[in-house]
Structure 1
């Protein structure tokens, strides 16, 4: 936790103040970042405040780490303020509940504090979802006529609303093991800060969080340091032995991390006294467009639909069946289509399901057969797909673009063995670094690790949305890395779930009739299949009503977005 406070208690730019960069500052080694002088926030106890109200304000002030939690310490007696260690842990609860205990003497009060722990902030600002109870005892005395806390446990606890009020989630980008795809590592940073750019760079050099680390690799050597900003130039040292390719890859990580935090382009970057990337003294995201971690959000994703066992392409106000067996066989159960025109589909033949793999405009060939096969999901390159066989085994299928031959291997899912229920849905994230699943009606996310043997396994599995209570039926990833989940609950048929589990919120329900059995997300539009029809809702809208998809009116179909 100390490492987290050292990196996060510095003053950093808020998002609204990121339009300019410091023009000059004294160079300093920032591999292990040290706190900078801060202005204490105007938070403290109110004179004459009642004991219970003071305790509540203490828990609100505990969300402010500035100046070694000076705001929270002001609610404590001098001795308690000196002995309290806020860095022991940082837990987030839904609500703080206070109950008075009987005490002797009018100048003493004791409270039982309860809440449900929904998460914690780990080293480096990563959010870890939890589901446990919190209970502790707070003792108070009057000091110079004012109530002050005299006895409390170490660590920081505050409500979910305070997390949103004082912290902001920002992405730090690292490379996936299997290629040049950037993976989002979401971090929560204290909002009342300056030097946000320096803080993000520090986290970038420290490496990925523990949860996402198995799916990533690093290009930065251990000895690399960030030595500060001088005359608007970001200066690094210890990169003499990095190859030109690794320097380019690190530059892409850096540029996209800063850009998505709102730090204004262009960026001038040096390493050991020379430009980080040769012939690029000033860099923008345009220089690294091929690494864009949100490339899907800038593209138009083709829409298809599965209707009555056939796949239709939806364009404008019309829907036309695909040529060949995909469009006229009437036995397609589910399908996924990649952005480069490869299809993986499940068709029913007698008592068995067959997974077929190939070009959308060609004749896909059988790659796998079993009694039941889930809807396939593509890795980001579009030549490998995953599917669940018999509700239990996860298979990875790789198709050779030259020969069309498909090889099949099992994914190690041993971390799921203690979870009750069948895997009814599996969807890989846009980067391929994570897999979202529905198991027994609950949503789970696992990190995709490629082992030295070349085999894949799911690890660091967690439930980001325990609030759904086993009602999940369908899900998909959005371009920003969140999930949309369809359920069997009429009051809350569609949810948005943040990938780190820090927030679960309902989406407009309007005219939806449960169950929401299918769901798909394009960069601009959400699509669902409810009891009656295939509906759509723009991502950016104030409307609460979903409309039928043009060309698909009256046809209850499952949406397929080619990402």
Structure 2
């Protein structure tokens, strides 16, 4: 972490321009919205949502209309709950905490039963207080007690949630990510959330980031923002030159050197996703902080070294041809100069570490062999250059390298999947609840090392499961948390032939929509994709593709391995065209 910078305070000379103020009674982070599959810096700014100020209660309105008005009022844009509170009794207004979460519904019905209105919400989705997608919650019912205050009907027991229709969140909310660090403080970890689209996005994002990681993720990630740090004003305004003004409480002054720089990296990466924001200015007690070498306004692209896609990772494509490991860069294919490029060791599958320096291959003998990609100058590779990382395997999937040069090996044994992590030549079995012992077809690990993904055949269908990985500060695996299913957005996916990371928070899946055809769809890791969002612009491929090859960076091509060993690339027009790679390349892969 060389070259870190420290901020110094300087006097403030001009008042801060505040835009997009959150009105009193603002609700908490909504949890749903239109999903952007692109990387943050590539997003295109959508048209700002039209402001909507709902009407308050009508004098003499019956209970069912009061409930209807309450629902409409929660759709205020920019988001605030001041009008919605007018539909509540004085006491319930004081107790109502919509910040606890969000319920998104498809349709609603209201039924009057005496002094109660039964509110029925169909096909709901729950989101937590920060905007994290919690999944589908089925139909929900609420018995709203109605009482009269000053001769007017009011709601006495509102649910502690923001309740909005699907049509509202699809047009008024956007998915971004909060950025924390992995436990080793080497790379940022994105956590998807939904926040209001428009001027309020920066405020909601910073407020959620300052709250720190969720309790269940404390073994997965960490924050360098001190506990208790809060926004020292009501908003994070963005001035016309694209500068976000971030007013923080003075806890941030306790940070020094590297820790301060990393805290700012979290804020910078979180804000850089929002269209129109190019830099940020941190203030404490109204005074801006100065970063040596950058002044008081820090460009949001200042911290590329913490990119969750791993900025230093090799971009080369690898594969196996005629038993030898080859690399393809700049349209040129050549054998690696190390042992796997010179010796026929029976390589079946290949995995290359993120730096592109170490190669692991599986063999038909159930072994995982490891060797350096390149030979030492002046030497000739020999079998002595090869070590055995794993032996005695039954049916080995392609291994996976993590950020800490550890090799993840999954063996499809008679008793189901057996997961092993090899560190410095030492193999240790790792239990992954929901994955271990199952019929696993594919295994992936995110480049930040915190998300383990498996394609599992269960109950006559194929599912995508995701588990979070807990580590210590040195990157050693402490525990893999129980896996959950990644919902595929209502797509009728029966067959998954392969999968790969498309962004740090989304997966590309190679599916079979019909016999003899192939299609690539995209699924967000939180399971919030809709069918429309999951479908890419790619045409259906006429043929049985077996391998999907891409990487979680925008510059990476999207490749499939078709019949007869020919590789195809997805063009900007959405058509599959020849990739310019000679047929016969087996087990193609990028690093990781």
Q: TM class by shorter-chain length?
A: 0.7 to 0.9
Specify the alignment match of 1:10 in structure 2.
none
1:477 aligned onto 2:501:
yes
1 CA distance for matches of 2:344 and 2:277? Answer: 53
Specify the alignment match of 2:266 in structure 1.
253
Q: CA deviation at 1:294?
A: 4.7
Q: CA deviation at 1:427?
A: 1.2
1:527 aligned onto 2:559:
yes
Pairing 1:100-119 to 2, within 5 Å after superposition: 113=120, 115-117=122-124, 119=125
Contact 1:332 1:347 in 2 (8 A): yes
2 CA distance for matches of 1:206 and 1:302? Answer: 39
2 CA distance for matches of 1:137 and 1:226? Answer: 34
Q: CA deviation at 1:149?
A: 11
Alignment gaps of 5+ in structure 1 = 1-21, 28-32, 400-405
3-state SS of paired residue (2:388): strand
Q: CA-to-partner distance for each residue in 1:145-202, whole Å, 9 max, x for gaps?
A: xxx99899734444544323111122221111023211112221112544x4443332
2 CA distance for matches of 1:307 and 1:60? Answer: 62
Specify the alignment match of 1:207 in structure 2.
212
Assess, with a 3 A threshold, how the Cα gap between structure 1 residues 521 and 211 changes in structure 2: closer, same or farther: farther
Pairing 1:407-418 to 2, within 5 Å after superposition: 407-414=426-433, 416=435
3-state SS of paired residue (2:255): coil
1:284 aligned onto 2:299:
yes
Specify the alignment match of 2:570 in structure 1.
537
Which of the numbers 395, 406, 410 marks the counterpart of 1:372? 395
Which of the numbers 71, 84, 91 marks the counterpart of 2:103? 91
State the TM-score, normalizing by the size of structure 2.
0.71
Q: CA-to-partner distance for each residue in 1:402-450, whole Å, 9 max, x for gaps?
A: xxxx222222323546xx8322222111211211211222111111111
3-state SS of paired residue (1:361): coil
Assess, with a 3 A threshold, how the Cα gap between structure 1 residues 212 and 534 changes in structure 2: closer, same or farther: farther
Specify the alignment match of 1:392 in structure 2.
417
Assess, with a 3 A threshold, how the Cα gap between structure 1 residues 287 and 88 changes in structure 2: closer, same or farther: closer
2 CA distance for matches of 1:353 and 1:57? Answer: 66
Q: CA deviation at 1:465?
A: 2.0
RMSD (CA atoms): 4.5
Pairing 1:23-38 to 2, within 5 Å after superposition: 24-25=15-16, 36=24
Assess, with a 3 A threshold, how the Cα gap between structure 1 residues 309 and 44 changes in structure 2: closer, same or farther: farther
Q: CA deviation at 1:312?
A: 2.9
Contact 2:190 2:504 in 1 (8 A): no
Contact 1:374 1:389 in 2 (8 A): yes
1:546 aligned onto 2:546:
no
Assess, with a 3 A threshold, how the Cα gap between structure 1 residues 121 and 287 changes in structure 2: closer, same or farther: same
Contact 1:451 1:457 in 2 (8 A): no
1:435 aligned onto 2:452:
yes
Specify the alignment match of 1:449 in structure 2.
470
1 CA distance for matches of 2:464 and 2:269? Answer: 29
Specify the alignment match of 1:358 in structure 2.
371
1 CA distance for matches of 2:512 and 2:79? Answer: 48
Contact 1:62 1:69 in 2 (8 A): yes
Q: CA deviation at 1:492?
A: 7.0
3-state SS of paired residue (1:414): coil
Q: CA deviation at 1:501?
A: 1.7
Contact 1:211 1:460 in 2 (8 A): no
Specify the alignment match of 1:517 in structure 2.
546
1 CA distance for matches of 2:579 and 2:477? Answer: 40
Pairing 1:10-29 to 2, within 5 Å after superposition: 24-25=15-16
3-state SS of paired residue (1:320): strand
Assess, with a 3 A threshold, how the Cα gap between structure 1 residues 340 and 237 changes in structure 2: closer, same or farther: same
Q: CA deviation at 1:482?
A: 1.3
Contact 1:378 1:386 in 2 (8 A): yes
Specify the alignment match of 1:268 in structure 2.
281
Contact 1:124 1:187 in 2 (8 A): yes
Specify the alignment match of 2:344 in structure 1.
329
Q: CA-to-partner distance for each residue in 1:192-223, whole Å, 9 max, x for gaps?
A: 544x4443332222112345443112223224
Assess, with a 3 A threshold, how the Cα gap between structure 1 residues 203 and 97 changes in structure 2: closer, same or farther: closer
Q: CA deviation at 1:392?
A: 1.8
Specify the alignment match of 1:495 in structure 2.
521
Q: CA-to-partner distance for each residue in 1:344-396, whole Å, 9 max, x for gaps?
A: 433324xx311112321244422111122221112135x22212123522211
Specify the alignment match of 1:30 in structure 2.
none
3-state SS of paired residue (1:261): coil
Which of the numbers 306, 318, 324 marks the counterpart of 1:304? 318
The number of equivalent residue pairs is 505
2 CA distance for matches of 1:152 and 1:234? Answer: 36
1:424 aligned onto 2:441:
yes
Q: CA deviation at 1:333?
A: 2.0
State the TM-score, normalizing by the size of structure 1.
0.74
Specify the alignment match of 1:16 in structure 2.
none
Which of the numbers 174, 178, 187 marks the counterpart of 1:172? 178
Specify the alignment match of 2:46 in structure 1.
none
Q: CA deviation at 1:509?
A: 4.9
